Structure 1
Amino acid sequence: MTSIRKAVLPVAGLGTRVLPATKSVPKEMLPVFDRPAIQYVVNEALEAGIEHFVFVTGRNKGAIEDHFDRAYELEASLHQKNKANILKELEAERPPAGSMSFVRQQAPLGLGHAVWCARDVIGDEPFAILLPDVIVKAAPSCLAQMTAIHEEKGGNIIAVEAVPWDKVDQYGIVAPESRENRTVRMSGMVEKPKRDEAPSNLSITGRYILQPEIFSVLESQDKGAGGEIQLTDAMATLMERQDFFALEYEGTSYDCGSKQGYLRAFLQFALSHEEEGSASLETLRRVLDENNA
């Protein structure tokens, strides 16, 4: 079984749901407590063994590339001031040289088009897709759980989580055919179904492992909802000739593309921080007391 070595991160979106914060700052660079959101996503992929990252970018996204580069002046200053712990932390999260590629989408033609833009870098091998709007708190990481299932079953893997039945109309929902523990063989996908028409309450999380044949499907894919090339449409076509599995992973996702989802993520990672968690809890209690006074 071919291992998953490469991952695509579509980061060209404008972040309109969290404006005005993203007017001049890429949404992926908004801090979630002590590091930008994109760093959590990359760390998740690294834990799963990803060796090369393909960022599909747009205009005004240079801060992402800079974040994963060396900051010589900053590092020299930290060294001079003997801030060894901070310097070590920065170095630990800097990817190896040559392990990241940046390609331009050039036009907002949809998620499917963004993935297609990475075709030449990915080549003829299965790969992962991680939507940077979504941070997943899990141990092992969500993508690591997915790669383990891929090694066992092959095919295409989609991460899912159960949502309340009265909220299925807010998500993409998978149609199950059969189930083995947390792994579900899929027969289809439905975008935002009504409750009484939903085939399950398993929502698509924003993590995928796909076979390279998806690129040829995207190449000829007609525009779908919103006049964009939809990845969901291409996956539905590929499902007609390849296996698709949904993994109900163990963990919790946070939609940082919405203001409330971003707030939930910020609070969760602040409260669970190894060194700052207790202080964060005390700060939160103080703020709540002040607002209830």
Structure 2
Amino acid sequence: MIKKAIIPAAGLGTRFLPATKAQPKEMLPIIDRPTIQYVVQEAVDSGIEDILIITGKGKRAIEDHFDRNYELETRLEEKEDQLLLDEMRRLSDMANLHYVRQRELNGLGDAIRYARHHVGNEPFAVLLGDTIMDAVIPVTQQLIDTHDQYGCSVIAVEEVPHDKVNRYGIVGGRSISDRILELETLVEKPSVNEAPSNLAIAGRYILTPEIFSMLEQTPAGKNNEIQLTDAMLLLLKRENLYAHRIEGKRHDIGNKLDFLKTTVEFALKRPEFADKFRAFLEEILRKGE
């Protein structure tokens, strides 16, 4: 049973400067909810309420977002805005959140090392803080189900165009069902000719605690950072690893174009303004013809 989740959220968000100069990229809103709230909600919807967020300098807004704001609650009470008041209280009660700072930005693998004492000797989930999953069954829950079946680490993967494999960590292995692969290799951002497949690591993991020993043995890789993919490759030499093809859509909020696409897609799903927003988009397209 997976009881704990780790959300790495220490990156500088340089692709979104100047917007991220004074606020974390994980707090950039999709409509009216910051990106990281969707990530925390996925963990909660997967049955996990003990969550450690790996932050860094300038990330205090994340803690404030999930904390109580008594002045705001009092103002909402005075305005008799019960719906919004209830939402604010649910936000602060949605999970048991803990925080630790990554002292230096030495890569995702280094960030995961900060969770060692929190998770102890048990498997845990990792959800990247700048990736939103849109799925009927939460993607983390999908991975938990696979972990329960095989008892090993599980990596979420999705198909990407062959000519874009050099942007991702890529896995290779043997298919044992429509959704599950037993892994044979992992490569961080390979060239098109070196890629073992077009299945890209999709920002969600279930990891066994043995990963911490592997991280201690992992030298700096690409960009002189500790790559989680390299550590999982070492782990693969000691135990089986599986990949799960996700059922759902991954939204990478780490770049501007995907951020815009995600905002539009989520807006079109909101019943309070979906029709008017769709009409607005259609009008813009007509004018551009």
- TM tier relative to shorter chain: over 0.9
**Rounded Cα–Cα distance in structure 2 between residues aligned with 1:116 and 1:146:** 21
The offset of 1:147, in angstroms, is 0.8
Identity value in percent: 48
Q: Structure 1-normalised TM-score?
A: 0.94
- Aligned counterpart in structure 2 of residue 228 of structure 1, from 220, 225, 228: 225
Question: How far 1:170 moved relative to its partner?
Answer: 2.1
Letter in 1 for 2:149: E
User: Residues 187 and 230 of structure 2 are in contact (CA less than 8 Å); yes or no, is this contact kept in structure 1?
Assistant: no
Partner-residue secondary structure (3-state), 1:78: helix
Segments of structure 2 that go 5 or more residues without pairing to the other structure are: none
Distance 1:114-1:30 versus aligned 2 partners, 3 A rule: same
How far did 1:289 drift? 4.3
User: Structure 1 unaligned runs (5+)?
Assistant: none
2:32 to 18, 31, 34: 34
Q: Does 1:19 align with 2:32?
A: no
Partner of 2:199: 202
Deviations 1:184-215 (A, max 9, x none): 11111122233343221111101010001111
Looking at structure 1, the residues matched to 220 and 163 of structure 2 have their Cα atoms a distance apart, in angstroms, of 30
Partner of 1:284: 281
Q: Structure 2 CA distance, aligned partners of 1:56 and 1:191?
A: 22
> Do the aligned partners of 2:187 and 2:229 also contact (CA within 8 Å) in 1?
no
1:156 alignment partner in structure 2: 153
CA distance in 2, matches of 1:91, 1:224: 43
Q: Secondary structure at the match of 2:176?
A: strand
1:51-66 superposed matches below 5 A: 51-66=49-64
The answer to which of 281-290 and 211-220 deviates more is: 281-290
Matched letter for residue 248 of structure 1: R
- Map 1:80-229 → 2, pairs under 5 A: 80-95=78-93, 99-229=96-226
Structure 1 position 68, deviation (Å): 0.4
How much has 1:153 moved relative to structure 2?
1.3
**Aligned structure 1 segments of 4 or more residues deviating by more than 4 angstroms:** none
Work out the CA distance in 1 between the residues paired with 2:254 and 2:97.
23
Q: Distance in 2 between matches of 1:6 and 1:232?
A: 21
Distance in 1 between the 2:240 and 2:271 partners?
40
Residues 56-115 of structure 1: CA distance to partner in whole angstroms, max 9, x if unpaired? Answer: 111110000000011111111112111111222222333357x11111111111111100
Give 2:282's aligned amino acid: R
TM-score using structure 2 length = 0.95
Residue 70 of structure 1, aligned match among 68, 71, 79: 68
Q: Give the alignment partner of residue 256 of structure 2, picking from 251, 254, 259.
A: 259
Query: Which amino acid in structure 1 is aligned with residue 126 of structure 2?
Result: I
Corresponding residue SS for 1:188: strand
Describe the superposition over 1:151-189 as per-residue Cα deviations: whole angstroms up to 9, x where unpaired.
111100000111122222222111012331201111111
1:271 and 2:256 aligned = no
Distance 1:280 1:246 in 2: 38
Deviations 1:263-287 (A, max 9, x none): 1111111111233322322333344
Q: CA deviation at 1:118?
A: 1.2
| Cα distance in 1 between the residues matched to 2:23 and 2:279 | 29
Contact 2:188 2:230 in 1 (8 A): no
Please state whether the residue corresponding to 1:23 is helix, strand or coil: coil
Call closer, same or farther: CA 1:235–1:91 in 2, change over 3 Å: same
Distance 1:94 1:282 in 2: 36
C-alpha displacement of 1:129: 0.6
Q: Deviation string for 1:207-265 (max 9, x for gaps)?
A: 01000111122123221111111111111001111111110011111110100011111
Give the superposed CA RMSD.
1.5
